[in-house]
Structure 1
Amino acid sequence: MSWKRERYESHEGAVGVLLADGTEPGPVSFDMGSGTYFHESTDWWVYTGELRRPTATSMRGRCACGWRGEREFPIDWAKVDRADLAAFDVSGPQRDWEVHLDEVEARSVPLPLDVADLLKRLHKRLDELVDDHPLTVLRAVGELETTVDSFALVAARYVSGEKDGAVPRVAAALGTTEKAAGTLLRRYRYLDF
């Protein structure tokens, strides 16, 4: 089970676990039979202590960006129904992750209201057209891609001209990870027309 928020794909959230000593365990490996492939999982419910797996004593929110929630929530394994894992209350870690995403979003660069409104209206209009006029939507998307490419190239080159700190600054401004920001800058900086 993971949590996602639109426009923040690099911030996928999930339940993380802690052992009794306060450490976060590594992935649990599952031998699926003969062969060299071992499935790995970091799902909270695999840390039961059974079959020589580590025993998680508490859970917290975690994010793909590396963030970990400060609050810990105890796990009572007697109350975990293996047949219905979704019934176990993980709302505390999820709320902490949502607060983390709210903070990421608050630090990101706001869009001017007129641009945000224009994008919202464009999205709505394309949604109205897509079922009956898919070719029109494809034409509009092509026009948008041309516009995006030309402005993204200029903006990425301006930002990349800053020797130090461009990638961390872009990551914070866009609400993404440094890895994703670096990929975005490289993609837009070297567009060929």
Structure 2
Amino acid sequence: MAVWVSDEFEEFEDRHQGFAGAVLADGSEPAPVYLDAGSGSHMSSMREWWAYDGTLGRPRAPHLRAACSCGWRGEHLYTIDWSTAEDDPESVDTSAARTEFEGHVRDLEARSLPLPAAMTDLVERLDEQLHDLAADSPLAALKAVAALERITLRVARHAAADAHASADGDELSWDTVARTFGTDHDHARARLMHYQLRP
């Protein structure tokens, strides 16, 4: 069962991965389920509804709801029909929960710093032209992408350094930085450092 990632915040998916989370009968969320991959000390965890089916000592969740890795939770509960879900988890319709998550992402986008209209138009046209070029001449498209990567890396370093200095100097609020990235202050700082330290 896949998580949902918005195009807008795809680069920051550690903060905005959506999923259909489990909700217990008392309205609480169960503890994460840890999965043993069989090698190494790292064990991945999950909170998706289908992992809480009452087996292996786990509780059975009667409901699911939209959730995001940033901590946001949807308003509505959706009943899980275990009579069919046990045999076919894919039969459970999570589309309404996904729609709620997409609304959460749209709200983040609406509160973020908007791009100037001219830049938005330029990015959209560049996207379209690169796709067309990739269809006609894949190598030429890759050469263009390499050039863009050099440009964006150089600009990102300078812009991140200036934004960091402005935020530390109170010329730019960390709230604004966080909203731009659709995250919190700590992750916003980490994102700026990521751009500044990229090789």
Corresponding position: 1:3 with 2:8: no
Deviation at 1:77, TM superposition (A): 2.1
Distance in 2 between residues matched to 1:133 and 1:90, nearest whole Å = 40
Corresponding position: 1:58 with 2:59: no
Corresponding position: 1:16 with 2:21: yes
Corresponding position: 1:150 with 2:150: no
Deviation at 1:76, TM superposition (A): 3.3
Q: Deviations over 1:40-68 (max 9, x none)?
A: 54331121223321121221110121211
Question: 1:124–1:28: structure 2 CA closer, same or farther, 3 Å change rule?
Answer: same
Unaligned 5+ segments in structure 2 are none
Q: 1:183 corresponds to which residue?
A: 190
TM-score by length of 2: 0.79
Corresponding position: 1:28 with 2:33: yes
1:43-54 correspondence runs (5 A)? 43-54=48-59
Q: 2:112 aligns with which of 99, 103, 108?
A: 108
Deviation at 1:74, TM superposition (A): 2.7
1:78-89 correspondence runs (5 A)? 78=83, 80-89=84-93
Deviation at 1:134, TM superposition (A): 2.9
* Helix, strand or coil at the partner of 1:95: helix
Deviation at 1:166, TM superposition (A): 5.6
Q: 1:169 aligns with which of 168, 171, 176?
A: 176
Question: 1:153–1:34: structure 2 CA closer, same or farther, 3 Å change rule?
Answer: closer
Q: Say if 1:159 and 1:166, in contact at 8 Å, map to a contact too.
A: no
TM-score by length of 1: 0.81
Unaligned 5+ segments in structure 1 are none
Question: 1:31–1:101: structure 2 CA closer, same or farther, 3 Å change rule?
Answer: closer
Q: 1:91 corresponds to which residue?
A: 95
Highest CA radius of gyration, 1 or 2?
A: 1
Query: More deviation in 27-36 or 148-157?
Result: 27-36
Identical aligned residues as a percent? 39
* Matched pairs, number: 191
Query: More deviation in 61-70 or 145-154?
Result: 145-154
Q: Say if 2:67 and 2:73, in contact at 8 Å, map to a contact too.
A: yes
Q: 1:137 corresponds to which residue?
A: 141
Distance in 2 between residues matched to 1:189 and 1:31, nearest whole Å = 36
Question: 1:118–1:22: structure 2 CA closer, same or farther, 3 Å change rule?
Answer: same
* Helix, strand or coil at the partner of 1:119: helix
